Amino acid sequence: MLPPSQRCKDQTTKAPTGPFKRDHLLKYLEEQAKNEKDWEDVVPFSLGTKRGKVWEGDSGRESADDGTTSEEHPASRIARMEMPIELDLDDDDDLDEALDGAPERDLVDLAGILGMHNILNQPQYYNALKGKQQDDSTGTTFATIIRAYEPKELPDEPENDTNVDECIKRLEEDDEDMKEININNMKRISKEQISRLISAACESNHITKLSMANTAISDNEARGLIKLLETSTSLKALNIESNFITPELLAKLVRATLVTKSLTDFKAENQRQSVLGNQIEMDITSSVEENESLLRVGIAFQSMEARHRVSDALEKNYERGLAFTVFAILAVFRFLMIFQPYLDFGCSYFRVESICSVQM
C-alpha cells in the first residue's frame, strides 16, 4: 500500500504549522466538541410533560373490559391516564419487565408501528398505523386466523354490438361522420363481411381509425389492408392485434405505409407465429426508419438491434413533429404581428403584443 502522501498529486501550498502531535490533536477535538452548543430541539423539553401513547398494563385493560369506561372516548381516557412506571429504554431489565406485563393487544400495535408486517395480518397492520384499536374483526393476538375478503362482483363487459353491415354501407357512401370503426373481439363475424368492410374502407376519404383486434382474420382477409394503407390518406391508426397474420404479410403491411406516409399508429402484436425471424424484423425496421409519420408501432421484436433502431426512429419522428408544430405556431404569431395594421378584426378582438402574447 502506498502512503497517503503518494496516492495523489500534492495540492497543498501552505507551509506546515508545526510537527504533528496526535495527543494534542485529540485533546483539541475533545475540547472543541464540549464547547460547541447543542442543536435546539424541534419540541423543547419541559419537565413533567408526557407525550405519546400512555402505556397501559393489565389492570387498565381489565377495567376497560368490565365496561366501566367503554362509553368514554379513548382520547380523553388516555389523556387522563398517568404512566404507571417510568421506563429506561437503555436498561434491558426495565424493557423486559414492561414487555412481559403488556397485553398481547398492545404488542400487536407495537409490532405494527415498528413495521413488522410479516407477523400481522393486513387489517391489524393498518389499524396500528392509523392509531385505531384492534377489535374482534381484525384480531387482537398474533395467532389470529386470516380471513379472506370476498372480492366485489363486477359485471362482465358487454359484447361488441357494432353493426358491420351498416358500417359497410356508410363507408361506401363516404359518410363524413364515419371516422372510427371498432370490431374488436367479434369472432362470429364472417370472413366475407370483413373483406367487404376492408374494401369499403378503401373507398372512404374520412376514416381515421380501424380496429380489428381478435377477429381471427388470416392473410386472405388481411391482404386487402395493403390497398387500404396505400390509398387512404385519412387513416391514422390501424389495430390488427391477436389474429393469424403471417410475418411475411406483416412486413408488406408496414412497407405499404410508405406510399402515403399518413399512418401514425400501427399495432399488430400477438399473432399466431410469435417469432418473426431476423430477416422479417430487419425488413420491418428498415420500413419504419424510412417512414417519417409513424409514432407508435406495436410489434414484438426478438432482435435487440431491431428494438433499438425502431425506438430511435419513432423518437426522431416524434421530435420532428413537435418541432414542426412549434414552428407553425410561431409563424402564425409572426404573421399577425406583421399584418396586424392591415387586418380588421372589428372592436379590437385581437391585440398582438409580442410573438408569444395574444390577448382576446
CB atoms within 10 A of CB 94: 14
Of the candidates 220, 168, 219, the residue with the CA atom closest to the CA atom of residue 196 = 168
Q: CATH topology for 164-312? A: 3.80.10
Cβ partners under 8 Å of residue 4, min gap 6: none
What string of DSSP letters covers 178-224?
--EEE-TT-TTS-HHHHHHHHHHHHH-SS--EEE-TTS---HHHHTH
Taking residues 324-335, report their average pLDDT. 80
Exposed/middle/buried for 297, CB within 10 Å: 0-12, 13-18, 19+?
buried
Cell, residue 336: 399577425
Res 150 pLDDT > 60: yes
User: DSSP code of 66?
Assistant: T
Taking residues 188-207, report their average pLDDT. 94
Separation of alpha carbons 121 and 267, rounded Å: 44
Residue 278 is predicted with a pLDDT of: 93
pTM over 0.75: no
Residue 66 is predicted with a pLDDT of: 52
Strand order in the sheet with 265-267: 180-182, 209-211, 237-239, 265-267, 296-298
Residue 358 confidence class, pLDDT cut points 50, 70, 90: very low
Exposed/middle/buried for 304, CB within 10 Å: 0-12, 13-18, 19+?
exposed
* pLDDT tens profile 167-183: 999 999 999 999 999 99
Of these ranges, 78-87, 94-103, 244-253, 340-349, the one predicted with the greatest mean pLDDT is 244-253
Percent of the chain with pLDDT over 70: 76
Residue 216 is predicted with a pLDDT of: 92
Taking residues 125-140, report their average pLDDT. 72
CA angle at 115 for the pair 109 and 121, rounded to the nearest 5°: 65
What count of Cα atoms within 13 Å lies in the side-chain half-sphere of residue 286? 9
Name the residue ranges covered by the structural domains of the chain: 76-143, 164-312
